Amino acid sequence: QSDGAYGLGRSALAEEIAAWDVDVLPDGRGLPEGSGDAFDGEEVFADKCASCHGDFAEGVDNWPVLAGGFDTLADKDPVKTVGSYWPYLSTVWDYIHRSMPFGEAGTLTADETYAIVAYILYSNDLVEDDFVLSHENFAAFDMHNKGGFVVDDRPELEYASWRAEPCMSDCKGEVKVTMRSVFLVETPEVGTVS
Amino acid sequence: MDEMFKPSRRAFLRGSAAVAAGTVAGGAAAQVPDPLITELQDWASYTGAGVDETPYGMPISYESHVIRRNVEWLTASPISSINFTPIHALEGTITPQGCAFERHHSGAIELRKEDYRLMINGLVEKPLVFTYEDLERFPRENHVYFCECAANTGMEWAGAQLNGAQFTHGMIHNMEYTGVPLRTLLVEAGADLDQDKWVYVEGADASSNGRSIPMEKALDDVLVAFKANGEALRMEHGYPVRLVVPGWEGNMWVKWLRRIEVVDRAVESREETSKYTDVYEDGTARKWTWVMDAKSVITSPSPQMPIPHGPGPLVISGLAWSGHGQITRVDVSRDGGITWETARLGKQGDTKALTRFYLDINWDGAPMLLQARAMDETGYVQPTKSQLRAQRGENAVYHNNCIQTWYVNEKGVAENVEVS
């Protein structure tokens, strides 16, 4: 069936591609038709998300915090949330629709996903509570940290100077231990199965 | 037939004597004959296990400490979590699959070959569906590569944290893969192979773990692999098919691979925006930090591998690797980086694969600050943690390839430390 070099495999049918190819690009390509507002989103979120992520997307226990943390990225302990860190709204929609809720992935409808995303934006104080998110206004929404990323620049900043013959002797004066691990955290004891 | 395994009073008494003798014998100066030699041992007299006893074997029980370990407090759930390869106890370069680390985002799934499908779609002349059987009919290749989690050593950015090479450096394994070049499958589908195109890959599991790979890499050395270390992939490593992305961060080695899509731009999925981006000190972040830079660690002595034998001949053993190519040299320091000696490679390393190194010393019993420093074929020299922090701060999370220090005291006990 294939025209390829080995003639292996068969043509993928349109229904099959539609079932599996559900990724959404930053420009909004891949979004299905639909819409949802923050009001509806609050309801769905309370039902399907809040047990781990909290009523206000603030996170429960160790589960991820989805809201807040604005302007903390340069702090000692940055709070990286959808609002403070994520560059594209497409990723929020795509990831929730495909892989959430944890343990019941793939069960959200398009409208539910729009509503949840609208609610997360609301939780991040990025929209009003009557905000309606749809496939039509989606691409126009700019995230707070959209400009916060640079493409890997190790080649210029690091490799250029770190590709050099290293010191072999008298490389520094006295050496002191400045930090010891055993005072800080619990490492499972050797020999126990955890 | 189990007679030899029953503890008899005679064997018990002899066993106690052997232990007692062992404590005094130890070295070359033994005065008392060793009963392990002078007395007939059970295993030299009775019979052992038959060939029908173990169709697929596990390590002997005395090696039960050589296992994957997890650290509960690192993640919210063991389903989206990590465990660690016991690299402190391994030798050579090949990681036994049964104790090779795992990292899942929605657990290790069970996917039968019969249920397996691989789709190629997007910017291709002919979107295709392959079965597992189809994949085994393409010409295949064998290569040894390391798979290192981007977060390996990530807990150590802000200081010396976990006390053992398994925990600080064990998000890594190294296997011989058999598979089909990704290029072959892309050509089969008539993909647009222009350099400005991307390949988006995702798994069959709930997390999907979608990642974008630039076409240049996809056409270079990426493998669609179905065997590792001679046998089928383990369930937890992507059975029946995973992606192998030589030299690049482990997250991109998509397991249970189900779809390959040719796209005109990066998808910028969750695993390449929220995760696997590296935050700088000023709050900006690097994205697409794919390559794992040159790195090394001394596996013995190390906190889990104290020196058991006192002063004298000591084997310093360790691993080095680089996502840029071959390891060409490893230097070892015993004084925290003041002086360095060039170690010996166990054998010439494969490209983008673990390489074993050794330094054989005569230990005088004095405390040591052990370090290893890898160099790769591009001339890149593994940096200190200070060098890395000066560039990136302490919040990068990923890509910590700093020089590790073990403080070894006069008793031979080792500890994870940082030094000035």
pLDDT tens, residue by residue, B121-157? 999 999 999 999 999 999 999 999 999 999 999 999 9
Minimum Cα–Cα distance from A73: chain B residue:
B283
Size of interface A-B (CB pairs under 8 A): 261
For residue A71, the tally of other CB atoms under 10 A from its CB is: 12
Mean pLDDT of B351-366: 98
pLDDT at site A187: 66
Q: Does A106 touch chain B (CB under 8 A)?
A: yes
Tokens of B356: 């074993």
Q: How confident is residue A50, by pLDDT bands cut at 50, 70 and 90?
A: very high
The beta-strand segments (E) located in B234-354 are 242-244, 257-263, 278-279, 285-287, 295-300, 312-321, 327-333, 341-342, 344-345
Mention every residue, 6+ apart, whose C-beta is less than 8 A from residue B19.
none
Which amino acid makes up residue B348?
Q
Query: Model confidence over B202-253: pLDDT tens digits?
Result: 999 999 999 999 999 999 999 999 999 999 999 999 999 999 999 999 999 9
Mean pLDDT of B405-414: 97
B81 and B74 Cβ atoms separated by less than 8 Å: yes
Q: Given a cut of 60, is residue B57 above it in pLDDT?
A: yes
User: Of B258, B339, B378, which is closest to A163 when you measure between CB atoms?
Assistant: B378
pLDDT at site B76: 85
Q: How confident is residue A192, by pLDDT bands cut at 50, 70 and 90?
A: very low
Q: How far is CA B163 from the centre of its chain?
A: 17
Q: Given a cut of 70, is residue B28 above it in pLDDT?
A: no
Q: Given a cut of 50, is residue B72 above it in pLDDT?
A: yes
Which position has the token pair 């395994």? B5
Q: Does B413 touch chain A (CB under 8 A)?
A: no
- What gap in Å lies between CA B104 and CA B212, rounded to an integer? 18
Give the percent of chain A with pLDDT over 70. 92
pLDDT at site A7: 96
Q: How confident is residue B18, by pLDDT bands cut at 50, 70 and 90?
A: very low
Distance from CA of B39 to the nearest CA of A (A): 31
Which amino acid makes up residue B129?
V
| Residue of B80, B163, B193, B256 to mutate, testing the A interface (most A Cβ within 10 Å of its Cβ) | B163
Find chain A residues with C-beta within 8 A of B58's C-beta.
Answer: none
Is the ipTM, as predicted for this complex, more than 0.85?
yes
Tokens of A1: 């069936």
User: Of A152, A173, A181, which is closest to B416 when you measure between CB atoms?
Assistant: A181
Mention every residue, 6+ apart, whose C-beta is less than 8 A from residue B100.
B68, B85, B173, B175, B234, B237
As its CATH architecture, domain B97-150+176-286 has Alpha-Beta Complex (3.90)
Minimum Cα–Cα distance from B200: chain A residue:
A23
Mean pLDDT of A31-41: 96
State whether A166 and B379 contact (CB < 8 Å): no
Q: Given a cut of 90, is residue A27 above it in pLDDT?
A: yes
Q: Given a cut of 70, is residue A19 above it in pLDDT?
A: yes
Query: Model confidence over A94-151: pLDDT tens digits?
Result: 999 999 999 999 999 999 999 999 999 999 999 998 999 999 999 899 999 999 999 9
Q: Does A152 touch chain B (CB under 8 A)?
A: yes
Q: Could you give phi then psi for residue A133, rounded to 5 degrees?
A: -100, 135
Tokens of B413: 């006990």
User: Of A27, A171, A180, which is closest to B337 when you measure between CB atoms?
Assistant: A171
Mean pLDDT of A72-76: 95
pLDDT at site B349: 87
State whether A179 and B187 contact (CB < 8 Å): no
For residue A97, the tally of other CB atoms under 10 A from its CB is: 24
Mean pLDDT of B170-191: 98
Query: Model confidence over B297-349: pLDDT tens digits?
Result: 999 999 999 999 999 999 999 999 999 999 999 999 999 999 999 999 999 98
User: Of B76, B122, B273, which is closest to A88 when you measure between CB atoms?
Assistant: B273
The average confidence (pLDDT) of chain A is 92
B293 and B248 Cβ atoms separated by less than 8 Å: no
pTM of the model: 0.93
Find chain A residues with C-beta within 8 A of B261's C-beta.
Answer: 21, 23
pLDDT at site B74: 86
Q: Does A161 touch chain B (CB under 8 A)?
A: no
Q: Does A59 touch chain B (CB under 8 A)?
A: no
State whether A166 and B277 contact (CB < 8 Å): no
Q: Does B338 touch chain A (CB under 8 A)?
A: yes
pLDDT at site B27: 57
User: Of B263, B269, B380, which is closest to A162 when you measure between CB atoms?
Assistant: B380
Distance from CA of A150 to the nearest CA of B (A): 5
pLDDT at site B73: 85
What is the number of alpha carbons within 13 Å of residue B292 lying toward its C-beta? Answer: 36
Which of B136, B139, B230 lies closest to B177 in space, CA to CA?
Answer: B230
Interfacial B residues in 64-83 facing A (CB < 8 Å): 64-65, 67, 69-73, 75-77, 79-80
Q: How confident is residue B399, by pLDDT bands cut at 50, 70 and 90?
A: very high
